[in-house]
Chains A and B, each alone.
Chain A
Amino acid sequence: MSKSSRRKAAKARHRRQATKPATSAASRSTGTATVARPSRPAARPPAPPPRRRSEASKSVAPPVETTADAISRALRPTGLPNVVAIARRDLTALFVSPVGWVVAGIFTFLVSTFGFYFQVIASQQASMDGVFSVITSFLVPVLIPLLTMRLLAEERSQGTLELLLTSPVRDWELTLGKWLGAFAFYLMLLAITLVYVALLRVYRSDLDFGLIGATYVGLVLVGAAAVAIGLLMSSLTRNQIIAFFLALIVLLMVWYAGYVIGYFVAPPANAFFSYVGGFDRYRSFTLGLASVRDVVYFATLLVLALFATERILASRRWR
């Protein structure tokens, strides 16, 4: 084959390639070779030629499955990719919006002053009790509702819930994703307090890590259940303020059931309420006892709240 004929063949091939995806007339007339996938041109003609997209994707890229594709396809039926995608969006939204920073700021302030400074430096008691009591008396009942109030209430009021639920996302995937996003933020806040464990270790060499570890297990469980309850309250309304107060009230009721309800009830029954109250169930962890009974208690709260949330989301179909 002569040089010129080869060049001619190449040119013809080039022309075929250039016309196949049928990009804008401008790029065709200049005859540039970079038409396989058009970059975003600044001066695009107002009416793009028809069928450009579908033809381009069919002719240029025969779908080759990469490893990532195969993994995502295999995981898809489990619903896990959706759960993670939703959780990630929620977690990022917390960092982009002021809410996350306000909650984290308030928490670190309280935990470092009331939890650590007054307890350890001012009162000279080298224990984590102060930090833990800030978590149980403020982070869980007040800050968790602040984190969870927007979860579904905002989606409802903004209409984005419709966007999510008309995508192939199951109701439980949305529930779990929402819960996971807020719970991950709670875990981050909890992780901040590990700094104080390290600091205390400097003061005391005989620090009881078993006890502290058990308490953290308890706090993780408490937080998991509390976030689920907050999520449930957020699913009931489109108003974030209402969701916040509902969550606050319900969390306090559950936590102090033994004290609030038990106070008004005669002796044999009040023992029951203090038994089902979250506070008594959590207390065993602070004594270093991570008993099955108490783990089951918080796990039950968690599952019940998530299940109820899923049912409420699904109820739109028959209401």
Chain B
Amino acid sequence: MIEVEGLTKFYGERAAVQDVTFSVPRGQVLGFLGPNGAGKSTTMRILTGYLGASSGKASVAGFDVLSQSLEVRRRIGYLPETAPLYSEMRVDGFLNLMCKLRGVPPSRRRSRVDDAIDACGLGDRADEVIGRLSRGLRQRVGLAQAIVHEPEALILDEPTAGLDPGQTRETRDLIKELGRDRTVVLSSHILSEVEATCERVLIINEGRLVADGPPGKLAQRLGSGRTHEYELEVRGEGDEIKAALRELRGVDEVSIADAPEPGVVSVIVTTGQSDLREALSKAIIDGGFGLLEVQARTLSLEDVFLKLTKTDREG
């Protein structure tokens, strides 16, 4: 559905996107993850034909985004970063205008507008002026305009930015819902969001693609070798605990830090083995320390993300 090859975009001297290559099959929900300024918006703007690439190619549904821009634009629904809308228009009037501009035949505009309003939960707000709507509702109008002409692919730039937690969840559900029968590319700098909504994640940093895969596998693969970490809170002397735990089979590394409670230390144990919880607690109790808490930490996407962007900066 979406093919991107060697995409590079320079703003003056600075490269916003460098040699990015990926492809999105029809029906996939893809998350574009990266810190602010990583090149997510630029890539999306190139895909929608709003900006031109400095070099490289991109196509949507087989149409080149530059030379067959109109064909591409007919097939996509795009929600720009801040959900820009005409604030003096009414919700239904605005959606009707968008229908017109995207070539929906007159006889079907009414039902398309109603459907989009329904799908985005704007049922009772259809005749309100957009400027008076709350941030969350405006975001929904933005989503409604992206789907009003029933596009094959949706490109959503930070669809939940600036929303409160409740609105964020609603928007995510809506995106999941929309992604059932459409190709969706969404960008975010919030990891949990991408983890929750996307089948596949691309991590982009400083204009370069640094990882590509399903959110679960990505965390697994990139965290291989040090998959498990245990965080323990133990009452006792730090050095003694460290010595006791180091002897355990499978323990790679033990680090000790002070816990807020006096006399208690927090211990982080790293291991390559599968499950050490029992062995750890037994060792602690046998050693005569007080075990207060054991917590297994698997590497989350967040850790992967931080790791990737950090090593990139160092290298």
Residue positions of A touching B, CB distance < 8 A: 37-38, 40-42, 44, 46-48, 50-51, 53-54, 57, 61, 63-66, 68-69, 72-73, 76, 81-82, 85-86, 89, 93, 96-97, 158-160, 162-170, 316-318
The answer to whether A85 and B105 have CB atoms under 8 Å apart is no
By beta carbon, the residue of chain A nearest B98 is A167
Give residues of chain B (75-108) contacting chain A, Cβ–Cβ below 8 Å: 76, 78, 80-82, 84-89, 97-98, 100-103, 105-108
- Residues of B near A86 (CB, < 8 A) are 101
Q: A159-B84, A166-B50 are in contact. Are A40 and B97 (CB under 8 A)?
A: no
Q: Is B70 an interface residue (CB 8 A)?
A: yes
Q: A51-B181, A57-B115, A317-B51 are in contact. Are A163 and B145 (CB under 8 A)?
A: yes
The answer to whether B84 and A162 have CB atoms under 8 Å apart is yes
- Residues of A near B121 (CB, < 8 A) are 44
Q: In the assembled complex, how far is the CB of residue B149 from the closest CB belonging to chain A, in whole angstroms?
A: 9
A to B CB contacts below 8 Å, 26 in the list: A37-B111, A38-B118, A40-B114, A44-B118, A44-B121, A44-B123, A50-B181, A51-B181, A53-B119, A63-B105, A64-B107, A66-B105, A68-B106, A72-B105, A73-B105, A82-B100, A85-B101, A89-B97, A159-B81, A162-B80, A163-B98, A164-B101, A167-B73, A167-B102, A168-B102, A316-B51
The answer to whether A76 and B103 have CB atoms under 8 Å apart is yes
Q: In the assembled complex, how far is the CB of residue A43 from the closest CB belonging to chain B, in whole angstroms?
A: 10
The answer to whether B180 and A40 have CB atoms under 8 Å apart is no
- Residues of A near B119 (CB, < 8 A) are 48, 53
A160 to B111, CA, bound (A): 24
A76 to B70, CA, bound (A): 12
The contact of B105 among A41, A69, A158, A164, by CB within 8 Å, is A69
Q: Is B236 an interface residue (CB 8 A)?
A: no
The answer to whether B106 and A158 have CB atoms under 8 Å apart is no
Q: A69-B106, A316-B50, A317-B52 are in contact. Are A160 and B74 (CB under 8 A)?
A: no
- Residues of A near B266 (CB, < 8 A) are none
Q: In the assembled complex, how far is the CB of residue B96 from the closest CB belonging to chain A, in whole angstroms?
A: 9
Q: A48-B119, A166-B50, A318-B52 are in contact. Are A72 and B181 (CB under 8 A)?
A: no
A50 to B179, CA, bound (A): 10
By beta carbon, the residue of chain A nearest B72 is A168
Q: A57-B111, A61-B111 are in contact. Are A165 and B50 (CB under 8 A)?
A: yes
Give residues of chain B (108-122) contacting chain A, Cβ–Cβ below 8 Å: 108, 111, 114-115, 117-119, 121
The contact of A50 among B48, B105, B123, B177, by CB within 8 Å, is B177
- Chain B: residues with Cβ within 8 Å of the partner, total of 47
A302 to B81, CA, bound (A): 35
Residue positions of B touching A, CB distance < 8 A: 45, 48-52, 66, 70, 73-74, 76, 78, 80-82, 84-89, 97-98, 100-103, 105-108, 111, 114-115, 117-119, 121, 123-124, 126, 145, 150, 173, 177, 180-181
The answer to whether B107 and A168 have CB atoms under 8 Å apart is no
- Residues of B near A162 (CB, < 8 A) are 45, 50, 78, 80, 84
The answer to whether A160 and B50 have CB atoms under 8 Å apart is no
- Residues of B near A44 (CB, < 8 A) are 118, 121, 123
The answer to whether B102 and A160 have CB atoms under 8 Å apart is no
The contact of A48 among B48, B103, B114, B177, by CB within 8 Å, is B177
A48 to B174, CA, bound (A): 9
Q: In the assembled complex, how far is the CB of residue B67 from the closest CB belonging to chain A, in whole angstroms?
A: 11
- Residues of B near A40 (CB, < 8 A) are 114, 117-118, 123-124, 126
The answer to whether A47 and B49 have CB atoms under 8 Å apart is no
The answer to whether A66 and B107 have CB atoms under 8 Å apart is yes
A164 to B112, CA, bound (A): 19
The answer to whether A65 and B124 have CB atoms under 8 Å apart is no
Q: A40-B118, A40-B124, A162-B84 are in contact. Are A50 and B180 (CB under 8 A)?
A: yes
The answer to whether B123 and A41 have CB atoms under 8 Å apart is yes
Q: In the assembled complex, how far is the CB of residue B269 from the closest CB belonging to chain A, in whole angstroms?
A: 41
- Residues of B near A169 (CB, < 8 A) are 73, 101
- Residues of B near A159 (CB, < 8 A) are 80-82, 84
Q: In the assembled complex, how far is the CB of residue A39 from the closest CB belonging to chain B, in whole angstroms?
A: 8
The answer to whether B52 and A68 have CB atoms under 8 Å apart is no
A82 to B100, CA, bound (A): 7
By beta carbon, the residue of chain B nearest A163 is B84
Q: A40-B117, A47-B173, A57-B111 are in contact. Are A168 and B106 (CB under 8 A)?
A: no
The answer to whether A63 and B108 have CB atoms under 8 Å apart is yes
The answer to whether B70 and A170 have CB atoms under 8 Å apart is yes
The answer to whether A166 and B88 have CB atoms under 8 Å apart is no
- Residues of A near B101 (CB, < 8 A) are 82, 85-86, 164, 167-169
By beta carbon, the residue of chain B nearest A154 is B86
The answer to whether B173 and A46 have CB atoms under 8 Å apart is yes
A166 to B51, CA, bound (A): 10
- Residues of A near B50 (CB, < 8 A) are 162, 165-166, 316
- Residues of A near B181 (CB, < 8 A) are 50-51, 54
A160 to B79, CA, bound (A): 11
A96 to B181, CA, bound (A): 39
The contact of A93 among B45, B86, B118, B177, by CB within 8 Å, is B86
The answer to whether A85 and B97 have CB atoms under 8 Å apart is yes
Q: In the assembled complex, how far is the CB of residue A241 from the closest CB belonging to chain B, in whole angstroms?
A: 19
A273 to B87, CA, bound (A): 44
Known pairs A40-B126, A44-B123, A166-B50; list 13 more (Cβ under 8 Å): A37-B111, A54-B150, A63-B105, A69-B107, A93-B89, A158-B84, A159-B84, A163-B84, A165-B50, A167-B102, A316-B51, A317-B49, A317-B66
